[in-house]
Amino acid sequence: MGIDHLSLMASILNPNVTIEDDRTGLDIETIRRAVLDNLFYIQGKFPAIATKHDFYMALAYTVRDRLLQRWLNSVQTNLKKDVKSVAYLSAEFLVGPHLGNNLINLDIYQQVEQAIKESGLNLQELIDTEEEPGLGNGGLGRLAACYLDSLSSLEIPAIGYGIRYEFGIFDQHIQDGWQVEITDKWLQYGNPWEIARPESSVMVNFGGRTEAYTDDHGAFRVRWIPEYVVKGIPYDTPILGYKVNTANTLRLWRSEACESFNFERFNQGDYYGAVDSKVHSENLCKVLYPNDEPIQGKELRLQQQYFFVCCSLQDMIRTHLIENSSLDNFDQLWAIQLNDTHPAVAVAELMRLLVDVHHYEWEPAWQITENTFGYTNHTLLPEALEKWPLSIFGRLLPRLLEIIYEINNRFLERVRIKFPDNGSKMSSLSIIDESDDKYVRMANLACIGSHRINGVAQLHSELLKETILHDFYALFPEKFTNVTNGVTPRRWMVLSNPRLTELITQKIGNRWINHLDELKQLEQFVDDASFRSQWRQVKQEVKQDLAKYIEKKVGIVVNPASLFDVQVKRIHEYKRQHLNVLHIITLYNRLKHNPNLDIPPRTFIFGGKAAPGYFMAKRIIKLITSVGDVINNDPDLKDRLKVVFLPDYNVTLGQRVYPAADLSEQISTAGKEASGTGNMKFSLNGALTIGTLDGANVEIREEVGAENFFLFGLTTPQVAEVKSHGYYPRGHYDSNEELRGVLDLISCGFFSRGNRELLQPIVDNLLYDDPYLLLADYQSYINSQEEVSEAYKDQERWSRMSILNVARMGKFSSDRSIQEYCDNIWKVQPVSIKLQAYNQENAGLKV
Ligand code: NBG
């Protein structure tokens, strides 16, 4: 009351003075009052009958109010004539829960914590109430989210475009040791962070046919007469940068029928038919496709891709034309990044919009297109390279297919001149795969239509040039570049590991939060015994928290003093969770034979989802849980080994797990993991890595020093070499007694209650095929794990290594990655957002 009265008086006396109101004020009392106000007016509840979720919603709206000024100012500034913006096109954005992150970036965590406490509540509990939007599968979607955070933090005008899936990635339950998939209903209690913008809806064509005609000026033109049209409605979420006024937009499209109810059919008694178009259109955005499954034939997926790309490009063109008289300078004001090939159809769609709708000649349209796009490749796995059967593509997107043919013809003409009489080059470069059935190859379209092509770690970018994109590299080497991935320290340290954040900040101040290189300064404390002891204390406390969570979640009691050995990521054979299991069984056998063996106790923690149709990945989960059941309950072991599978691994769970890890398992077959980003999150939080020379592991090791990294396994050239000589995995089984003991124990049903069939597919696969060379790397992995155990016994040495890992992680901030994209690919500059002080003149109450 006092504060209110005073500010009211002040505003009457001087209308330009900064006053705080319930919607922008940042002091504790204003925030406390605003939460109660929102509880009443938005949730419609008194505190006495409100649930925790009601309070969460009230707080979320309170925080959103405080974002709005920054957001609207940013949107307005980005529209200006001379501001170049980045459009990040991605089928996935795995943003994670918003509340905590927004408090950090707004720099009001403490005030809000206090305000909530004074209301008799606990902020952490409210933060934990938020249902995270699972709009991504794994690394690729999470990278997009880290990049949005960095774009805003670096004050780069940007917009993320994607799909508002009604059901995101499934929730994973574990029943009887198996994965069970449950639909993710993230929207069921409402989403306070988004604002629908139906006034900015756009229309998207599907099916039908094309028709040539001559326009009024005698020019040859084509029009697309679609079979049906779907409406795209944008939903906007603000993405605030760290301690800046820039709040960029994440714009996700939802599909709807243009006319959702057909009265004619209703009147004829056709009640299902009356809503047919509604159901059909809304299905488009129903569900996120899990990856790691063959995509061919998934027509709905192609519809999703075209839908969000078409909506987004129309949206960019509309906003461009607000301040510009033509699209001639489109490429000077927009840099569009294709996050993998999922949005690659954008190359053809921009051509369609320029040529068919805005009547550009082909050549200038192509110039604009090529200058605008950049393409990031995220995988070398051949099965993940998207290609669409020509028949489906042509039926769904007839005009786009014609345009792709035209792009291809003109392109192949250039190839013919450069490499005359080279049929094999022509067929590998062509957008159309003519091998057996015909396909449209999306990576080829992306490469041809972009002025820059990048991989996501040095090794990966080199391998792209040597392997799958080799012929493109020979044709236009100048397009190829690398941008090593990064992660945002705001979410992956400040929010998830407040204890370590505080310890570091006490020592070196807080500039490291957006200048991660500054962590280097920690090196000066590595010889300070009391600092090392504080460092261990922090890790210990975080491990205790995780131990409590594990007990509550899965009922397993783990020892917080044991070595927390963690592998969390999607379950995939190339990531080799089963190699980790072979090590666990090896230790188990050793301890059974020699109970006096001097090794530190270990807790093995796994988390990750398997694609629902991926047989082997689901078996690997069953293997982990089965081995855990036996080991966790074997009294001989005296709790020296524990195996935990944490269900439903997602961003929220990642935030709990990374800070508590001692050892990070990055054990993919060399050449298979494009980059990895979990590897960076672990190391940033003080875990040491055991890993192969794969993806960004190579660069992490370079940065932290070989002596602070546990290396094992074949290198990429060695993998190729082994395979070229006809790899014979059975040879390793025959010659390595310990390995034989491990595989035999699985085969005989020891971990599956005598059922020999259950886990045999995994063993057979390893013995007779082993495409990911687990058996070839087994011994080297075991040796390296012995070094880990030795190092852990010397806690002082381990702490030094841990501190140095953190101190040398500066390179892996997504701020650095985004800066590289800005300088080398997008050519965009930061624009600072000016906020007007709140007063009655600009309070928005007058029109
Ligand atoms: C994934 C790679 C990871 C990489 C992320 C982000 C796909 C297709 N690729 O290694 O497997 O870290 O992309 O770049 O999801």
Same domain, yes or no: 278 and 405: yes
pLDDT band with cut points at 50, 70 and 90 for residue 172: very high
Same domain, yes or no: 301 and 208: yes
569 flagged as catalytic: yes
Q: Which atom in ligand 1 lies closest to the alpha carbon of residue 143?
A: 6
pLDDT digits (tens, 9 = 90+) for 99-119: 999 999 999 999 999 999 999
What's the rounded Cα separation, in Å, for the pair 44 and 58? 10
Same domain, yes or no: 581 and 476: no
Q: Is the CB of 673 under 6 A from ligand 1?
A: yes
Distance 450 CA to ligand 1 centre (A): 20
Same domain, yes or no: 257 and 380: yes
User: What is the reported pLDDT for 279?
Assistant: 83
Rg (CA), the chain: 28
Q: Is the CB of 692 under 6 A from ligand 1?
A: no
Distance 90 CA to ligand 1 centre (A): 13
Task: Choose the final residue of a domain: 482, 513, 538.
Answer: 482
Q: Which atom in ligand 1 lies closest to the alpha carbon of residue 460?
A: 10
Whether residue 602 is predicted with pLDDT greater than 60 in this model: the reply is yes
Task: Choose the final residue of a domain: 750, 765, 792.
Answer: 792
Nearest CA to ligand 1 atom 6: 140
Q: Determine the residue of 378, 463, 673 to mutate for testing ligand 1's pocket, defined as the one with the most ligand atoms within 8 A of the Cβ atom.
A: 378
pLDDT digits (tens, 9 = 90+) for 187-201: 999 999 999 999 999
Region 827-836: what's the mean pLDDT?
92
pLDDT digits (tens, 9 = 90+) for 698-730: 999 999 999 999 999 999 999 999 999 999 999
What single-letter amino acid sits at 512? W
Nearest to 433 by CA among 467, 468, 390: 390
Distance 339 CA to ligand 1 centre (A): 10
Same domain, yes or no: 577 and 454: no
Q: Which atom in ligand 1 lies closest to the alpha carbon of residue 677?
A: 12
Same domain, yes or no: 435 and 566: no
Residue with more model confidence, 560 or 13: 560
Same domain, yes or no: 282 and 403: yes
CA–CA distances in Å: residue 32 to residues 52, 55, 129, 726, 764 = 16, 11, 19, 69, 62
pLDDT digits (tens, 9 = 90+) for 237-280: 999 999 999 999 999 999 999 877 777 887 888 888 888 888 88
Mapped onto helix, strand or coil, the DSSP state of residue 219 is coil
**Does residue 503 form part of some domain?**
no
* Alpha-carbon 104 to chain mean position: 20
Distance 674 CA to ligand 1 centre (A): 6
CB-count burial class (<10 Å; 0-12, 13-18, 19+) for 667: buried
378 flagged as catalytic: yes
Looking up residue 143, the CATH number of its domain turns out to be 3.40.50.2000
pLDDT digits (tens, 9 = 90+) for 646-655: 999 999 999 9
438 flagged as catalytic: no
570 flagged as catalytic: yes
Nearest to 819 by CA among 452, 515, 399: 515
Distance 136 CA to ligand 1 centre (A): 12
Q: Which atom in ligand 1 lies closest to the alpha carbon of residue 137?
A: 15
Q: Contact 637/604 with Cβ under 8 angstroms?
A: no
Q: What is the DSSP string of 248-309?
A: EEEEEEEEEESS---HHHHHTT-HHHHTHHHHHHHHTTSBPPPSSS--TT-HHHHHHHHHHH
**Does residue 504 form part of some domain?**
no
User: What is the reported pLDDT for 296?
Assistant: 58
Structural domain containing residue 697: 559-792
Distance 139 CA to ligand 1 centre (A): 5
Same domain, yes or no: 434 and 574: no
What single-letter amino acid sits at 332? Q
**Does residue 813 form part of some domain?**
no
Q: Is the CB of 386 under 6 A from ligand 1?
A: no
Same domain, yes or no: 184 and 274: yes
Q: Which atom in ligand 1 lies closest to the alpha carbon of residue 673?
A: 10
pTM over cut 0.85: yes
Q: Is the CB of 90 under 6 A from ligand 1?
A: no
Whether residue 298 is predicted with pLDDT greater than 90 in this model: the reply is no
Contact partners, residue 455, CB within 8 Å, separation at least 6: 376, 377, 461, 462, 463, 464, 482, 483, 674, 675
Q: Which atom in ligand 1 lies closest to the alpha carbon of residue 456?
A: 14
Region 679-707: what's the mean pLDDT?
98
pLDDT band with cut points at 50, 70 and 90 for residue 4: very low
Distance 753 CA to ligand 1 centre (A): 37
Q: Is the CB of 457 under 6 A from ligand 1?
A: no
pLDDT digits (tens, 9 = 90+) for 520-576: 999 999 999 999 999 999 999 999 999 999 999 999 999 999 999 999 999 999 999
pLDDT digits (tens, 9 = 90+) for 208-244: 999 999 999 999 999 999 999 999 999 999 999 999 9
* First-to-last C-alpha distance (Å) of the chain: 29
Distance 365 CA to ligand 1 centre (A): 32
User: What is the reported pLDDT for 480?
Assistant: 98
Nearest to 430 by CA among 419, 445, 452, 451: 445
User: What is the reported pLDDT for 10?
Assistant: 45
Q: Is the CB of 339 under 6 A from ligand 1?
A: no
What's the rounded Cα separation, in Å, for the pair 336 and 323? 19
Q: Determine the residue of 483, 675, 698, 812 to mutate for testing ligand 1's pocket, defined as the one with the most ligand atoms within 8 A of the Cβ atom.
A: 675
CA–CA distances in Å: residue 556 to residues 569, 618, 635, 646, 695 = 21, 22, 14, 10, 33
Q: What is the DSSP string of 641-680?
A: EEEEEESS--HHHHHHHGGG-SEEEE-PPTTT-S--SHHH
Same domain, yes or no: 473 and 565: no
Q: Are strands 563-568 and 452-455 parallel, antiparallel or unpaired?
A: unpaired
Q: Determine the residue of 381, 456, 468, 692 to mutate for testing ligand 1's pocket, defined as the one with the most ligand atoms within 8 A of the Cβ atom.
A: 456
What's the rounded Cα separation, in Å, for the pair 234 and 202? 9
pLDDT digits (tens, 9 = 90+) for 815-824: 999 999 999 9
Question: What backbone torsions phi and psi does residue 726 show, to the nearest 5 degrees?
Answer: 75, 80
Q: Is the CB of 526 under 6 A from ligand 1?
A: no
Mapped onto helix, strand or coil, the DSSP state of residue 603 is strand
Nearest to 665 by CA among 533, 745, 597, 563: 563
Task: Choose the final residue of a domain: 482, 497, 527.
Answer: 482
Region 421-439: what's the mean pLDDT?
91
**Does residue 62 form part of some domain?**
no
**Does residue 305 form part of some domain?**
yes
Q: Is the CB of 570 under 6 A from ligand 1?
A: no
Q: Determine the residue of 140, 376, 571 to mutate for testing ligand 1's pocket, defined as the one with the most ligand atoms within 8 A of the Cβ atom.
A: 140
User: What is the reported pLDDT for 16?
Assistant: 47
What is the domain count for the chain? Answer: 2
User: What is the reported pLDDT for 286?
Assistant: 92
Contacts 24+ apart (CB under 8 A), 504-507: 504/806, 507/531
User: What is the reported pLDDT for 155?
Assistant: 98
User: What is the reported pLDDT for 11?
Assistant: 44
**Does residue 102 form part of some domain?**
no
What single-letter amino acid sits at 643? V
Q: Is the CB of 250 under 6 A from ligand 1?
A: no
Mapped onto helix, strand or coil, the DSSP state of residue 200 is helix
Catalytic residue among 575, 583, 602, 642: 575
Average pLDDT, the chain: 94
Q: Which atom in ligand 1 lies closest to the alpha carbon of residue 291?
A: 15
Mapped onto helix, strand or coil, the DSSP state of residue 161 is strand
Q: Is the CB of 471 under 6 A from ligand 1?
A: no
Same domain, yes or no: 466 and 589: no
626: how many CB neighbours lie within 10 A of its CB? 25
**Does residue 228 form part of some domain?**
yes
Nearest CA to ligand 1 atom 3: 676
User: What is the reported pLDDT for 110?
Assistant: 96
User: What is the reported pLDDT for 21?
Assistant: 72
Distance 468 CA to ligand 1 centre (A): 16
Same domain, yes or no: 226 and 321: yes
Distance 142 CA to ligand 1 centre (A): 9
User: What is the reported pLDDT for 837?
Assistant: 66
Whether residue 791 is predicted with pLDDT greater than 80 in this model: the reply is yes
Distance 379 CA to ligand 1 centre (A): 6
pLDDT band with cut points at 50, 70 and 90 for residue 8: very low
**Does residue 58 form part of some domain?**
no
Residue with more model confidence, 11 or 284: 284
User: What is the reported pLDDT for 20?
Assistant: 59
Q: Is the CB of 340 under 6 A from ligand 1?
A: yes
